[in-house]
Amino acid sequence: MEARAHAGHPEELRLWLRMLTCTQLIERDLRSHLREQFETTLPRFDLMAQLERKPEGLRMSELSRRMMVTGGNVTGVTDQLEKEGLVERVTDEDDRRAFRVQLTAKGRQEFHAMAQAHEEWVVAALGGLAPEEIRTLHQLLGKVKRHYLELETT
């Protein structure tokens, strides 16, 4: 991505391409590790991460919104995980016509192992930065996020 930019481009564009390149490199590494060590995919990991945060489960529409993917994508991943006994669909107490997706005990156990490894991989990926650089970068990206969210509301 960065190769597209040159000194004549605005610094903001070059920064965006650098962030995108870093994200893609790290994500590629995470996908590879998940596949090799857990025989799973990043979308499956992401769906399980959403469910881990909500033990009572989430409706499919909420999963789709949180993961920023289509309902069809969520359904496909959920079907696979359900066949493997990692998630289950349960009737929604608030709306008996709907259901929620929850991690099973097996799913929770497998997710915790993946999450621990995932954390280690991310820490290693960003290990070239000193702690104060990480804090500074986190603060600066927070500032970018706040600015962008302000632009969205105007």
How distant is the alpha carbon of residue 140 from its chain centre?
Answer: 21
Per residue in 15-49, pLDDT tens? Answer: 999 999 999 999 999 999 999 999 999 999 999 99
Q: State the pLDDT at residue 72.
A: 86
- pLDDT tens readout for residues 102-145: 999 999 999 999 999 999 999 999 999 999 999 999 999 999 99
Distance CA 96, CA 109 (A): 28
For residue 154, the Cα-to-chain-centroid distance in whole angstroms is 27
DSSP 8-state symbol, 95: E
The amino acid that residue 65 corresponds to is R
Its CATH architecture, for the domain 41-119, is: Orthogonal Bundle (1.10)
Distances (CA, A) of 53 to 46, 47, 63, 103, 145: 11, 10, 11, 10, 22
Q: Is 33 helix (H, G, I), strand (E, B) or coil?
A: helix
Q: What pLDDT is attached to residue 120?
A: 98
Whole-model pTM? 0.85
Residue 135 vs residues 72, 73, 122, 129, 147: alpha-carbon distances, Å? 38, 35, 15, 10, 18
What's the distance, CA 103 to chain centroid?
Answer: 17
Q: State the residue for tokens 């790290």.
A: 26
At a CB cut-off of 8 Å and minimum separation 6, what does 103 contact?
48, 51, 52, 55, 86, 87, 111
